[in-house]
Amino acid sequence: MKKTFLGFLLVSFFSISLLGQNSNDWIFSYGANKVSVKELERGILKNQPGATLKLSESDIDEYLQLYTNFKLKVQSALDQKRDTSYEFLAELLEYKKQMTRPFLTDKEVTEQLMQEAYDRLKYEVNASHILIIVKNFDNAADTLRAFTHLDSIRKQILNGNLTFENAAELFSEDPSAKSNKGELGYFTAFEMVYPFESQAFTTEVGSVSQVFKTSFGYHILKLNDKRNSLGEVKVAHLMLTLNANYTAEEDAKAKERIDGIYQKLISGEKTFEELVQLYSEDVSSKKIDGELNWFSRTSQFPPAFKDAAFALKTNGEYSKPVKTPYGYHILKRIDYKPLESYERMKQNLSQRVNRDSRSSKNTIAVYNRVAKELNLVENAKNYKKFVKTSVGKDFNSGEWKYKANKNQNNILFSFANQNITVKEFADFIESNQSKVENASISAVVDKHYDNFKKYKVMSFYETNLESYNEEYKYLLQEYKEGILLFGLMDEMVWAKSLKDSSGLEKYFSENRAKYQWQDRVDAHIYTFSDLEEGKKLNALIAKNISNDSIISLYKKGNSLAISVRNGKFAKGDDPIMDELSSKINKPGVYNSNNGNGVYYLIRVNKLLPAGPKELDEIRGPVSSDYQDVLEDKWLEELRKTYPVVVNQEVYKALVQKLTK
C-alpha cells in the first residue's frame, strides 16, 4: 500500500489562532460541503516539517490539493454510509477509548503529582505509626470515638507520659505493632497509601504528626529518619540456608562452610559462578548464577543484605559473608543505577500516578473544572425535601425502594441545559445501594448524592466531549475520516490493483518505455582481509571452479574468512562495482581494496546490455505506479460528482498570512 492516511493522523495537536480574518469563512467547497479556513490552516501548520521553516505559496497550494482530495474521498465514503457499518463503529469505539482518557485528566495537577512523587523518590523515610481501625467512616459515632481515642494517646506522648514505642505496643491496632512497636522501616514514594506517604514526607524528623485518616482508619506517626535515596543495585548471591529454629551448632557449621567458600573465591581457586553452582542453596537464583532482580534500600530484603549490597562500590566486587535471618550470603555486585532524571522518568511517573490513589486528586480537579464549565447549579431545597420525605429508617438496609410521589420531578441540579430530577437520583440509589451497618443515614445519602452528581456530569461531558473541547473534536474528526478513507482506498486502489491483473498488464504494456534496465554486470563480489585467502580464491577461479562450489568450500571451512554477495549490478547499486566500472569491459576477475585492510575480488560472469524489463522482474514498482493511475481516475470521477470551488479571496489572504 503506497499511500496511507496515517500522515494526516499521527501528529501532535495545538491551538491555532486566526488573525485578521473570520475563522469560519469557507476556503473551498466540494459539492454541497464547505471547509473553513480555520480547518485548512490548522492542517497546514500541524503538518509543517518544522516550526521555523518558512512556508511558500507552492507549499500551501500543494497542501490545498492534498486536503481537497482527502475530503473528496471521505465524502464518497460518507455518501456510501460506510460510517454506519458495524466494522467502522467498532473500530471508532476502540479509538475513542484510547483518545478520551487524556482529555479527562488535568494536565497541571498530573504534572504537580509527578513532580511531587519524583521529589519524594529522592529520599527514604523511616516512620513508626499507631493505628486505630475504623471499619465504617459513615458511622459518625464510631469515627469520632476512634479519632478522640487516638488524639488522647498523642497528647500523652507529647506530654511525656508515654513513649511512642510503648504507646504503639499498648494501643495500636496494627497487628505487627506488638513485635515492631510500630516501626515500619524505610520507604519512599508509591510504597505506602498516598495519605500516609504525604504525612510521612511532611513531618519533621523526630516529630509526631497530627491525627490523620487513611482507608484503614486513623493514624499518628513519628518520623524517625530521612535519608537520601541511593538508587537501585543488582547483585548475585551465593546462599547457605538456615532453618527457622536453627541451633548454635548448625549456625557454627554454616559459618564455617561459608568462610571456606569465601576463601576459595578470593584465592581464585573457583569463580563466583562456579561456586554458586557447587554450593548455593537458593534454588531459584542458582539457575541464573545467583542473579537477583534490581532492588532499592526500601525493598523487602533483610537490612543486613541491603547494607552489604549497597556497600559494594564497583561492578564485580564481592562482599564478605553476610548473615541474615535466612542464612549466610556472599554477594557480587553486577550493576548499579542512581535515580534517573525527571525527564527520563516522566512516562513511568505518569503511569504510576494514574494507577495510584493520588490520582483521585486529578479526578476531583477535573470534576470541579467540568462542573464549572457546564454551569452546575444545585437546588439544595429540593434535595432536603427528598431526604425528609423519601429517606426512612430502612435506607441503609440495601433494599430501599423509592415510593413515587409528587416531588419525583423536582429538579435536584442542572447543567448544560440538563435538568436532573429526584426520580433519576432515586433510580441511581436503587441500582447502587448495599447494606450498611452502624452508619449515619444522612452521611450515606450524601455520599450517594455526591457520586450521582459526578456520574451525571462526567458521563455527559465524556459523551459530548467534542462539543466542549476543540482539540478533541478535531482529533476525533480526523480519526473518523481516516478510518473511512483507509477502507475506501483499500477497495478502490490498493486491493483493486492486486486483483486487476489484466489492467496491470495492459498498463505495463502501454508504458514499457518507462521500465528499462541500464547496462548491468552479473557478478560475484568476494570480500576478505587475509591476502592468503585471496590467493587461494584466485587459484580456485583460475581452475574454473564454479561460484557455488567455491561458496560451499568456504562454508565447510572458515566461514568468516571470506564473505560473498552476488547480483546484477547497475550504476549506483554498489560502490565497489561503481569504482571498477571503467575497467570492466568483459567477463573475468577484477581486484580492489579500500586501503583499510579490506580486499575485494570481483568475478564478472556476464555483461548485460541495457534493455526492457519484464513485468515479473519489477511487479512491485509497476503495481505502485498503477495504483497512482487508479487513484487519479477515481479523483477525476469524484471531482465531477463533487465540483470543487476555491474561495480565491480567502485563499489569497491565508497565503499572505502564512508566507510573511
Contact partners, residue 185, CB within 8 Å, separation at least 6: 126, 298, 303
- Are residue 387 and residue 532 in the same domain, yes or no? no
CATH number at residue 200: 3.10.50.40
**Residue length, the chain?**
660
Contact partners, residue 613, CB within 8 Å, separation at least 6: 515, 516, 517
Decide if 362 is inside a domain.
no
Residue 130 vs residue 1, higher pLDDT: 130
Contact 322, 329 (CB under 8 A): yes
- Are residue 24 and residue 89 in the same domain, yes or no? yes
Which parts of 405-483 are beta strand (E)? 411-415, 418-421
Decide if 450 is inside a domain.
yes
Instruction: List pLDDT tens digits, range 220-257.
Output: 999 999 999 999 999 999 999 999 889 999 999 999 99
Q: What is the pLDDT at residue 556?
A: 64
The residue segments making up the domain with residue 129 are: 123-228
Using a 10 angstrom Cβ sphere, with 0-12 exposed, 13-18 middle and 19 or more buried, the burial of residue 31 is middle
- Are residue 46 and residue 111 in the same domain, yes or no? yes
Domains of the chain: total: 5
Residue 333: enclosing H or E segment and its boundaries? strand 327-337
- Are residue 204 and residue 156 in the same domain, yes or no? yes
Q: What is the pLDDT at residue 24?
A: 61
Q: What angle do CA 547, 550, 553 make, to 5 degrees?
A: 150
Q: What is the mean pLDDT of the chain?
A: 90
CATH number at residue 527: 3.10.50
Instruction: List pLDDT tens digits, range 30-41.
Output: 999 999 999 999
Residue 621: enclosing H or E segment and its boundaries? helix 619-641
Q: Is 618 helix (H, G, I), strand (E, B) or coil?
A: coil
Residue whose cell numbers read 491565508: 654
Residue 268, by phi and psi: left (phi above 0), alpha (psi -120 to 50) or beta?
A: left
Asked whether the predicted pLDDT for residue 506 surpasses 60, the reply is yes
Decide if 344 is inside a domain.
no
- Are residue 219 and residue 128 in the same domain, yes or no? yes
Interval 183-204 mean pLDDT: 96
- Are residue 14 and residue 100 in the same domain, yes or no? yes
Instruction: List pLDDT tens digits, range 209-224.
Output: 999 999 999 999 999 9
Interval 253-279 mean pLDDT: 95
- Are residue 152 and residue 182 in the same domain, yes or no? yes
Decide if 364 is inside a domain.
no
- Are residue 600 and residue 580 in the same domain, yes or no? yes
Decide if 52 is inside a domain.
yes
- Are residue 6 and residue 68 in the same domain, yes or no? yes
Instruction: List pLDDT tens digits, range 373-429.
Output: 999 999 999 999 999 999 999 999 999 999 999 999 999 999 999 999 999 999 999
- Are residue 510 and residue 636 in the same domain, yes or no? yes
Lowest-pLDDT range of 25-34, 50-59, 143-152, 163-172: 50-59
- Are residue 506 and residue 545 in the same domain, yes or no? no
Asked whether the predicted pLDDT for residue 6 surpasses 50, the reply is no
Count CA within 13 A, CB hemisphere, residue 107.
2
Closest CA to 209 of 140, 157, 163: 157
In eight-state DSSP terms, residue 410 is: -
Interval 163-190 mean pLDDT: 95
Asked whether the predicted pLDDT for residue 90 surpasses 50, the reply is yes
Q: Which of 197, 228, 259 is the last residue of a domain?
A: 228
Q: Show the DSSP H helices in 159-271 as ranges.
A: 164-171, 177-180, 194-201, 248-267
Residue 51 binned pLDDT confidence (cut-offs 50, 70, 90): low
Interval 38-58 mean pLDDT: 79
Q: What is the pLDDT at residue 16?
A: 32
- Are residue 150 and residue 248 in the same domain, yes or no? no
Decide if 240 is inside a domain.
yes
Q: Against a cut of 0.85, is the pTM above it?
A: no
Q: Which of 209, 228, 247 is the last residue of a domain?
A: 228
CA 92 to chain centre: 20
Lowest-pLDDT range of 1-5, 51-55, 258-262, 482-486: 1-5
Decide if 367 is inside a domain.
no
Q: What is the pLDDT at residue 451?
A: 96
Q: Which of 228, 246, 265 is the last residue of a domain?
A: 228
High-pLDDT (> 70) share of the chain, %: 94
Residue 21 binned pLDDT confidence (cut-offs 50, 70, 90): very low
Q: What is the pLDDT at residue 20?
A: 39
Residue whose cell numbers read 486566526: 18
Q: What angle do CA 69, 75, 81 make, to 5 degrees?
A: 150
Asked whether the predicted pLDDT for residue 17 surpasses 60, the reply is no
Lowest-pLDDT range of 6-15, 89-98, 120-129: 6-15
Decide if 369 is inside a domain.
no
High-pLDDT (> 90) share of the chain, %: 77
Residue 630 binned pLDDT confidence (cut-offs 50, 70, 90): very high
CA 184 to chain centre: 33
